[in-house]
Amino acid sequence: MQQIWEGFAIALRALWANKLRSALTILCVVISIMSIIAVVSIVDGMDYYVKHEIAEQGSNVFTVSRVNEWEILTDFDKFLASLKNPNLTLEDREALREEMALAEFTDAAMDRNGRLNNGRRFVDNVEIRGRTEEYAAMGDFPIAQGRHLTKLDVQQRREVCVIGSEIANSLFPDTDPIQQTVKIAGRHYTVIGVCEKKPSILGSNQNIFAFVPITTHLKHFGSRRRSLAIPIRTASMETFQAAQEEARQILRIRHKLKPSQEDDFYITTSEQLLSIWEAISKGIFGSLIGVVSITLVVGGIIIMNVMLVAVTERTREIGIRKALGAKRHHITMQFIVEAITLTIVGGIMGIILGFFAAYLVAAFSPLPYRVAPWSIIVALFISFIVGLFFGVYPARKAAKLDPVVALRHE
């Protein structure tokens, strides 16, 4: 153990004595580890975000939509073809709600971003969510003050809204927000409810939203040409598959599709979304492995060459150590430890820069990031293996030097 620490100290002194050469030597290792950490942090953040969003909807919820937006990543031609599908309307939602025996709740959804303001106070990039009275059963939206939307609000196209806690705090810091007025897209809405505060996910605030009746949303935002999404919740997982088939048959009849024709709508479930996302993330990691492997091999070759130069430069030192009784395994261990030290230092620098790069990407884009402790362990392990593998040959060459010849070297 003492020999390992001595080799580590010698390697650090060599790094410090040759700063530029050391920096250029470990550059490929730094870039490789930085790439691993940055991509893993962003993908892990997105993975956590996707799973949290899906879990929030519930495992017994499926959604009927005009197109499957995930296909833009998996099958772009099929996605383009699906754009010809007819829009899903409130009439489709009513038909499903009335005719489905296995549906416990049937909602309708349409979203857009906008500004909410009260006098001089305002909040930008608010998710304005058009929903029916059954939206509360589709997700986790407990009420802190007031009430949820009702069937009468939807039927009468009332200009009312249920807002997130962040909106309430920003627009009404000193007053009770219930029955106060906010302006959305130039129209006045009455606040009837405030949802409980939800924790942030990967730095993303989950409390900047406003629920309005879907009929009011369609009327005020000119969204009649856009298609609705229809979330459906079943009473239990036992009826989940049967409910999907029931919804499919009802819509096929409504859309007058022949038995030979494909569905002109899509039914998506949490399992489908997770499987698609897992395929995408695996593809990202697969590409990363290929690119990183190349840079690691290049970095390892550079380190091996530098260690061979170090062996030549320190031939006389090796001869002296052997003359004083150092064995082959002592010399081998010294140079292997030095090579590993080089790559470990590069790995630590890459880890720090990788997290910093992920933070910058998250700060200047909507992509979330998350610190994955296992990625640090993997990065250090990779650094160790690269140093060990590419340090063996120079170490063995140093160990095989004849002490008499080495002592004569100038």
Task: Check pLDDT > 60 for residue 97.
Answer: yes
DSSP state of 314: T
Say if residue 241 is in the same domain as residue 257: yes
Cα distance between residue 393 and residue 168, in whole Å: 67
Q: What is the mean pLDDT of residues 204-232?
A: 86
Asked if 247 and 148 sit in the same domain, the reply is yes
Residue keyed to tokens 């550079």: 302
Q: Are residues 264 and 280 in the same domain?
A: no
- C-beta pairs of 288-293 under 8 Å, 24+ apart in sequence: 288/35, 288/36, 288/39, 291/35, 292/32, 292/35, 292/36
Residue scoring higher pLDDT (306 or 260): 260
Residues 48 and 277: their CA atoms lie apart, in Å, by: 11
Distance CA 381, CA 148 (A): 53
- What is the Cα–Cα distance from 177 to 150, expressed in whole angstroms? 19
Q: Tokens 């091999």, residue?
A: 297
Verify that 30 and 152 share a domain, yes or no: no
Query: How confident is the model at residue 46, as a pLDDT?
Result: 75
Do 94 and 127 lie in one domain? The reply is yes
Structural domain range at position 87: 60-269
255 lies in the same domain as 338: no
Instruction: Tell whether 105 and 233 lie within a shared domain.
Output: yes
For the chain, the average pLDDT equals: 81
- Residue 155 has what pLDDT? 93
Higher pLDDT, 402 or 351: 351
pLDDT at position 188, please? 93
Residues 155 and 225 in one domain: yes
The tally of CA atoms less than 13 A away on the side-chain side of residue 126 is 30
Q: What gap in Å lies between CA 346 and CA 271, rounded to an integer?
A: 40
Q: Do 167 and 238 sit in the same domain of this protein?
A: yes
Looking at beta carbons, which pairs linking 218-222 to residues 24 or more positions away fall under 8 Å?
Answer: 218/90, 218/110, 218/130, 219/157, 220/184, 220/185, 220/187, 221/112, 221/128, 221/130, 221/185
- Tally of domains in the chain: 2
Instruction: Tell me the whole-structure pTM to 2 decimals.
Output: 0.64
Same domain, 189 and 65: yes
Beta bridge partners of 210: 128, 163
| pLDDT confidence of residue 130 | 93
Q: What is the 3-state secondary structure (H, E, C) of 342-355?
A: HHHHHHHHHHHHHH
Same domain, 68 and 209: yes
Task: Give the whole-number percent of the chain exceeding pLDDT 90.
Answer: 25
Check whether 117 has a pLDDT greater than 80: yes
Residues 6+ away with beta carbon under 8 Å from 278: none
**Confidence check: pLDDT of 53 > 80:** no
